[in-house]
Amino acid sequence: MRSRVWLRLLIVIMLGLAAIQVALAPVRIVRWTPEWRGFNLQINRGLDLQGGSYLVLEAQDTPQRQATPDAVDAAMRVIENRIDQLGLVEPTLQRQGSRRIIVELPGIQDPERAIELIGKTALLEFIDTAVIQLPHGARWKADGKTVEMPAPAQPITVEKKVILTGADLADAQASFDQDTGQPIVNFQFKGQGARTFEDFTGANVGKYLTIVLDNEVISSPVIRDRITGGRGQISGGFQDLNEARDLAVLLRGGALPVPVEVIERRSVGPTLGRDSLDRSLRAGAVAAAMVFLFMILLYRVPGLLADLALAMYAMLLMAALVVLGATLTLPGIAGFILSVGMAIDANILIFERIKEELRAGKSIGSAVASGWARAWSAILDSNVT
């Protein structure tokens, strides 16, 4: 029996140490918190704590498709996928009405790039232009036949024969061409897309396969041989690797089912300034210390044990926020404080019930069991309500 108690105590101690290690990783919520090296764990702060960008997007109708609720839902999924590809931490997306999408991007470093990627339709098309090679920047008009050429050239007529689209892609990654050192995007087609790509390239050697993004030509390479394996690359026109990466992000995220327009955009500062947040957390730390001291003075050794349990509870809660990648906001901080307060209240209820049982002449073991049983209903009621 005693060995089992010691085993439980050892498990509790190990959990506590692990929670402290994780919770005090380089979180750096405020300047005076300790910084532990060797960890990439951190608590994500919401828009109200660190600021960021706030966008309102509105889905637009097209001749091909209306901005129905299903189309807007699909657009939200694509936008969320693109944001995830950018590596942004805990963005918030929500519907507003039937056509609008609210996007919150906390702590974003390059809002212009993110906005451009989020709002781009990104419809990739592989078009058979036969013996016509189109220059980078040429654009198909809405009729699908007229191509506007870069100035000073005049528009020409080229029928838009779509062979494959971005929906047929399995993956896209940015890299450098081993021969030229220029940025490129390597892509991989899915099963049926790979077979279609192989058949088309095999039947059109010496002709051009033009790659178009949102009706704008980005590449028009000549087909030199049958391409097997469903692999290819997009080259030319990239200013740097970041531009190639942006295209890869768009291709992996998929095309928007309907275009979206940014109708509202603003930079949001943190609700609490850095100094205000520091002072608030300092005040919270002082208040916690006073509560812990009160527990020790009033209940002596049991109060000290309760303080240790409460500290472990707080560390476990912080560690859970870190490990789960949760986003901390002002309401979240209030909830954290409330949960700790409820835990303190539960300890006080139990101790007071135990004291009543001891005054009634019961032994310590019996008083603890009875005190816990009598306090449980009040603890449950306070936590539920």
Does 71 lie in the same domain as 105?
yes
> Which residue in 96, 13, 89 sits closest to 56, CA to CA?
96
Higher pLDDT residue, 299 or 28?
A: 299
Q: Looking at residue 302, what is its pLDDT?
A: 84
- In a 13 Å sphere around the CA of 292, the CA atoms on its Cβ side amount to 16
Angle, alpha carbons 68-74-75 (nearest 5°): 90
Query: Among the three residues 249, 268, 287, which one is the final residue of a domain in this structure?
Result: 268
Does 277 lie in the same domain as 237?
no
Q: Is the pLDDT confidence value at 38 over 60? A: no
Parallel, antiparallel or unpaired: strands 169-176 and 183-189: antiparallel
pLDDT in tens, 63-92: 778 888 888 998 998 888 888 777 666 678
Q: Is the pLDDT confidence value at 275 over 70? A: no
Parallel, antiparallel or unpaired: strands 209-213 and 216-219: antiparallel
Does 169 lie in the same domain as 84?
yes
Query: Among the three residues 236, 268, 300, which one is the final residue of a domain in this structure?
Result: 268
Does 280 lie in the same domain as 251?
no
Q: Which of 17-21, 192-196, 295-299, 362-366 has the lowest mean pLDDT?
A: 17-21
Q: Looking at residue 129, what is its pLDDT?
A: 93
Q: Is the pLDDT confidence value at 105 over 50? A: yes
Q: Looking at residue 270, what is its pLDDT?
A: 67
Q: Is the pLDDT confidence value at 371 over 50? A: yes
Provide mean pLDDT across the span 218-235: 90
Does 146 lie in the same domain as 26?
no
Residue 4 vs residues 1, 8, 10, 15: alpha-carbon distances, Å: 5, 6, 10, 17
Does 248 lie in the same domain as 126?
yes
Q: Is the pLDDT confidence value at 189 over 60? A: yes
Q: Looking at residue 161, what is its pLDDT?
A: 93
pTM here?
0.61
Q: Is the pLDDT confidence value at 352 over 90? A: no
Does 194 lie in the same domain as 74?
yes
Query: Among the three residues 268, 292, 315, which one is the final residue of a domain in this structure?
Result: 268
Does 132 lie in the same domain as 149?
yes
Q: Looking at residue 26, what is its pLDDT?
A: 46
Provide mean pLDDT across the span 188-212: 94
Does 132 lie in the same domain as 237?
yes
The one-character DSSP state at 132 is: P
Any long-range contacts for 201-209 (C-beta under 8 Å, 24+ apart)? 201/225, 201/226, 201/227, 202/226, 204/128, 204/130, 207/128, 207/129, 207/130, 207/131, 208/129, 208/130, 208/131, 208/132, 208/133, 208/134, 209/126, 209/127, 209/128, 209/129, 209/163
Give whichever of 133-147, 318-332, 368-382 has the largest mean pLDDT: 133-147
Q: What is the 3-state secondary structure (H, E, C) of 136-178?
A: CCCEECCCCCEEECCCCCCCEECCCEEEEEHHHEEEEEEEECC
Query: Confidence class of residue 288 from pLDDT cuts 50, 70 and 90?
Result: confident
Q: Looking at residue 273, what is its pLDDT?
A: 55
pLDDT in tens, 308-341: 888 888 888 888 877 776 777 778 778 888 888 8
Does 165 lie in the same domain as 97?
yes
Does 228 lie in the same domain as 280?
no
The answer to whether the beta carbons of residues 163 and 172 sit under 8 Å apart is no
Our count of domains for the chain comes to 2
Higher pLDDT residue, 31 or 356?
A: 356
Provide mean pLDDT across the span 125-131: 94
Provide mean pLDDT across the span 104-115: 78
Q: Is the pLDDT confidence value at 94 over 70? A: yes
Does 32 lie in the same domain as 71?
no
Percent of the chain with pLDDT over 90: 23
Residue 103 sits in a domain whose CATH number is: 3.30.1360.200
Q: Looking at residue 377, what is its pLDDT?
A: 82
The answer to whether the beta carbons of residues 144 and 187 sit under 8 Å apart is no
Q: Looking at residue 30, what is its pLDDT?
A: 42
Q: Looking at residue 330, what is its pLDDT?
A: 76
Determine the Cα–Cα distance for residues 364 and 361; give it in Å rounded to an integer.
9
Query: Confidence class of residue 118 from pLDDT cuts 50, 70 and 90?
Result: confident
Q: Which residue range forms the structural domain that includes residue 284?
A: 2-43+272-384
Higher pLDDT residue, 305 or 38?
A: 305
Provide mean pLDDT across the span 111-117: 81
Provide mean pLDDT across the span 236-242: 80
Provide mean pLDDT across the span 41-51: 69
The label of the residue with tokens 């730390």 reads: 285
Q: Is the pLDDT confidence value at 39 over 60? A: no
